[in-house]
Amino acid sequence: MVMPADNGNTRPAWFVGASYGGTDDQTERFLRRGIWENGYTDRYLNAVKSIAEGDRIAIKSAYVRSNPDGLPFDNRGNPVSVMAIKAIGTVTQNMGDGRRLRVAWVPVNPAKEWYFYTYRATVWEVRPGTWATDQLIGFVFDNQPQDIDGFRNDPYWVQRFGDSDDSSQPYVPASPELTRADTYTIDNILADGCFLGLPKLETMLNRLQTKQNIILQGPPGTGKTWLAKRLAYALIGYKDDSKVRPFQFHPNLSYEDFVRGWRPQGDGSLTLVDGPFLQLADEARNDPDGAYVIVIEEINRGNPASIFGEMLTLLEGDKRKRNEALALAYPRTTGERFYIPPNVYVIGTMNVADRSLALVDLALRRRFAFFDLEPIFDNVWRDWVSEQSGIPTGFLARVAQSMNALNDQIATDRNLGRQFRIGHSYFTPGPGVPIGDEAAWYRGAVETEIAPLLQEYWFDNPDAASAAVSQLLNGL
């Protein structure tokens, strides 16, 4: 039996989505039938079970707005995280199955928009007691205005939206600091310096959620590893490195290293040790409402079919359940069987310019969704680098022109091709890293990073490599 909530203000408020897994918006049906349903069979079950009768609940939709029209503040061209509130209500019954609630709904028409402090996951538990959470709960359920200026000038957002250009002297609210400043969404990926654009990022995240295994492939310097980690954060909903496990494949890696194998001990005996993949799976199994991600760098540098073993079969979405469990190559007990929990996700990266690598096994390809990353030297890249580092946009435009010309030359070389083009990461300083002498910065990157790469590309034609470097440095 689910106990009713107490009448105090200590109970959380719940913000829930009304579409999941590619379904249409279910808001109208929920309101008409006086219910809310968790459309997932493998996520949020414990969270939904913990919702008490009498708890306040709201249907929300989180998205990003870049167009300033209709915003009650100047976004300075930056993407803004928005959460639309479409209905509010009170939970009248919890079925106790983690899937369904009965709710006395009140539609919010038109939907009210709340800014900055948002969360994209389907179920968000918001507990009162901090400046940000009290603001959100008051705005949604008590019709109080949002302190937009307070959020704009909070240290987390002041550099993009605040009144002061001096980020060293940010406005700090008198109330406690934001408790979910580490909340991570696609908005954060864009703000951190991703130049792909919102639609492609949304597609990547959606495919990661549904396919559960994706590979980012592209030429060197296109930010594959960088993006993989941030997609993992966005999937989880916040930055939590304990749920993201990086791992590097290499030619000498084996199943025993990655899944399970015998290891020598100091006394000369052998012990059976779980590798990082089984360790992550066990952690995920003990936390079924959390998402756990293993990021495999250079997934095609090893022999994936040999390294994964029976995991290759178990990676499939319809095999991630107990009745599909398989015996492991090295069982701990007689009859032991293993399955990959549904809250384990795999992101691989692949450098398509590595000539030493064989084609990826077709069986592996069937289990992953692939995304191509390209070199991006466009206006989005130029403006972000200029804003973060202070490099004049005119100088960056010349860098872009030179790099695009070089990449065109590489792409049309019959001994190289598009997969050998050079990515933007070589010319993208970290967020907030000032560049005092842009010419010296650029020359350093060309001479110490690009030139050696070109010499490797044109190892049989050093004059071509030298000419390309000279062309990049021409006019400095």
pLDDT tens-place values along the chain, 476 residues long:
333 444 446 789 999 999 865 567 899 999 999 999 998 775 677 778 889 999 999 999 987 787 888 899 998 888 788 899 999 999 999 999 889 999 999 999 999 999 988 877 788 888 888 888 899 999 999 999 999 999 998 877 888 888 865 444 443 333 323 334 356 888 788 888 899 988 899 999 999 999 999 999 999 999 999 999 999 999 988 888 889 999 999 999 999 999 999 988 888 889 999 999 999 998 888 887 788 999 999 998 888 888 999 998 999 888 898 889 999 999 988 889 999 999 999 999 998 876 444 455 677 788 899 999 999 999 999 988 998 888 999 999 999 999 999 999 999 999 999 999 999 999 999 877 889 899 999 999 999 999 999 999 999 999 999 999 999 998 77
Q: What is the dihedral of CA 50, 56, 61, 65, to 10 degrees?
A: -120
Largest CA distance in the chain: 79
Please, what is the angle between helix 224-236 and helix 198-211, to 10°?
Answer: 70
- Measure the CA–CA gap between 396 and 307, rounded to whole angstroms: 43
3-state secondary structure 239-290: CCHHHEEEEECCCCCCHHHHCEEEEECCCCCEEEEECHHHHHHHHHHCCCCC
- Measure the CA–CA gap between 259 and 276, rounded to whole angstroms: 7
Q: What is the DSSP letter of 122?
A: S
Which of 368, 363, 244 lies closest to 306, judged by CA? 363
For residue 190, the one-letter residue type is L
Taken as a whole, the chain contains a residue count of: 476
Which of 88, 86, 164, 152 lies closest to 117, judged by CA? 152
Is there a contact between 40 and 23 (Cβ–Cβ < 8 Å)? no
- Measure the CA–CA gap between 114 and 116, rounded to whole angstroms: 7
- Measure the CA–CA gap between 466 and 455, rounded to whole angstroms: 8
What's 187-372's CATH class? alpha beta
